[in-house]
Amino acid sequence: MKATWDIFCSVVDNYGDIGVTWRLARQLVAEHGLAVRLWVDDLAAFTPMCPGADASAAQQWQQGVDVRQWPAAWLTVAPADVVIGAFACQLPAGYVEAMRALPRPPLWLNLEYLSAEDWVEGCHGLPSPQPNGLRKVFFFPGFTEKTGGLLREGSLLARRDALQQSADARLAFLHGLGVTPEPGALLVSLFAYENPQLANWLDALATGAQPCHLLVPQGRIVAGLSQWLGEAALQVGDVRTRGALTVQVLPFVSQDDFDRLLWSCDFNAVRGEDSFVRAQWAGQPMLWHIYVQDENAHWEKLEAFLAHYRRGLSDDADAALLGLWRAWNMNRDMAQAWQAARQHWPELQQHARRWAAQQAAQPDLATALVHFYRNSL
């Protein structure tokens, strides 16, 4: 009898939390043959990334996953063999009590946010005894062998390579989104929070020597684009050109199509945890807009990742990469930083590909979770 898994997701920041848990649930079913229930307290955030899903359904099957509405008034259900609370969300009190009443309690995991900070290695896998006698274990995704790894489907890199190595396949995908890039244009994706340096960067792209086609999935950054263009709110499908820069607003796409978008672009500016990881797998130069925290506490997390990611770069390319990421996240001159990074483009491309290969040499997060469960039996 295959093991049952319950994953609880409380949607806090739009799509990041559900993005991670939906990918994880799908992979556990597709590659490990597990029975997975995904409990979501806001299905309206789930449906855009899973076309065909019903935001009002109490229960629905999507790609083999039993997707459940996490009701405010909890219903009595039998706990699964493995229980994952994503990102420190509080499980329903009735569910926790049902776990405690079992002769053999489930493996209870707290799936933490992704971080490259040094302390993560020491906390990964540590148990946390609860007052009610249960035990919760901290499980940290990460970038080193002493963490839980990153979400990566078994066929992901092969599918990426197939698309990137076929100009026809790439153009066919883009045409399906209504995108017809000018020959020789630099293709850039932008999925970010509001940013005071946006106009500065757009000015640099518009005055650059190479044509640039900026693809912007609908989201919070679109308002800034509209302001830069000096017009009312841009809508999905709108295309505007200023100088060397063409701006196009895309619809929200499924997770698989978002992967293809990242693979199709020459540079990806992303936000949040799920998109951050997927941009790394794209193997292209990238920029991460980290979620802003009070007193700039997020800067330490940003610098911790950069300390890992920059290894192997020449001194000049290292300085350019560091300058670009800091400019975007610390409100510095983005135009100057972009121009400096472009001077080292071939090296940054090779480095991005090498980083993805290094991370792929480690076990993926879903596999690490399954192995952790089996070792606990």
- Which residue in the block uniquely carries the two structure tokens 């200023």? 242
Average pLDDT of 161-186?
Answer: 97
- Token code pair at residue 370: 């399954």
Instruction: Check pLDDT > 80 for residue 315.
Output: yes
Q: For residue 360, give every residue at least 6 positions away whose Cβ sits within 8 Å of its Cβ, in sequence order, or none.
A: 152, 157, 281
What pLDDT does 332 receive? 95
Tens-place pLDDT, residues 36-74: 999 999 999 899 888 889 999 999 999 999 999 999 999
Instruction: Check pLDDT > 90 for residue 221.
Output: yes
- Token code pair at residue 165: 């190595």
Under 8 Å between Cβ of 229 and 203: no
**pLDDT band (50, 70, 90) for residue 299:** confident
**pLDDT band (50, 70, 90) for residue 352:** very high
Average pLDDT, the chain: 95
Spatial separation of the C-alpha atoms in residues 141 and 147, rounded to whole Å: 6
Is the entire prediction scored with pTM above 0.85? yes
What pLDDT does 290 receive? 86
> How many CB atoms sit inside 10 A of residue 131's CB?
5
What pLDDT does 48 receive? 87
What pLDDT does 293 receive? 73
Spatial separation of the C-alpha atoms in residues 306 and 322, rounded to whole Å: 7
Spatial separation of the C-alpha atoms in residues 194 and 80, rounded to whole Å: 40
**pLDDT band (50, 70, 90) for residue 13:** low
Higher local confidence (pLDDT), 294 or 159: 159
Q: What angle do CA 17, 65, 169 make, to 5 degrees?
A: 80
Q: For residue 29, give every residue at least 6 positions away whose Cβ sits within 8 Å of its Cβ, in sequence order, or none.
A: 35, 36, 63, 64, 65
Average pLDDT of 357-363?
Answer: 97
Spatial separation of the C-alpha atoms in residues 261 and 83, rounded to whole Å: 33
Q: Which residues are catalytic?
A: 17, 273
What pLDDT does 17 receive? 87
Instruction: Check pLDDT > 80 for residue 14.
Output: no
Count of CA atoms in the C-beta half-sphere (13 A) of 8: 21
Domain pair 4-150+362-376 / 156-360, same fold: yes
Alpha helices in the chain (DSSP H): 16-32, 93-100, 119-123, 156-164, 167-176, 198-206, 222-229, 255-264, 273-282, 298-309, 315-330, 334-342, 345-360, 365-376
What architecture does CATH give domain 4-150+362-376? 3-Layer(aba) Sandwich (3.40)
Average pLDDT of 103-118?
Answer: 95
**pLDDT band (50, 70, 90) for residue 275:** very high
- The one-letter amino acid at 346: P
* Selection from 104, 245, 107, 257 nearest residue 177 by Cα: 257
Fold of 156-360: Rossmann fold (3.40.50)
Domain extent listing, the chain: 4-150+362-376, 156-360
Higher local confidence (pLDDT), 111 or 232: 111
Go through the chain and tell me how many residues it has.
377
Spatial separation of the C-alpha atoms in residues 369 and 32, rounded to whole Å: 11
Lowest-confidence region among 94-98, 128-132, 239-243: 128-132
- Which residue in the block uniquely carries the two structure tokens 């619809």? 251
Average pLDDT of 347-354?
Answer: 98
Under 8 Å between Cβ of 137 and 108: yes
Tens-place pLDDT, residues 114-148: 999 999 999 999 999 898 989 999 999 999 999 99
- End-to-end CA distance of the chain: give it in Å, rounded: 14
Count of CA atoms in the C-beta half-sphere (13 A) of 222: 20
What pLDDT does 190 receive? 98
- Token code pair at residue 345: 């483009």
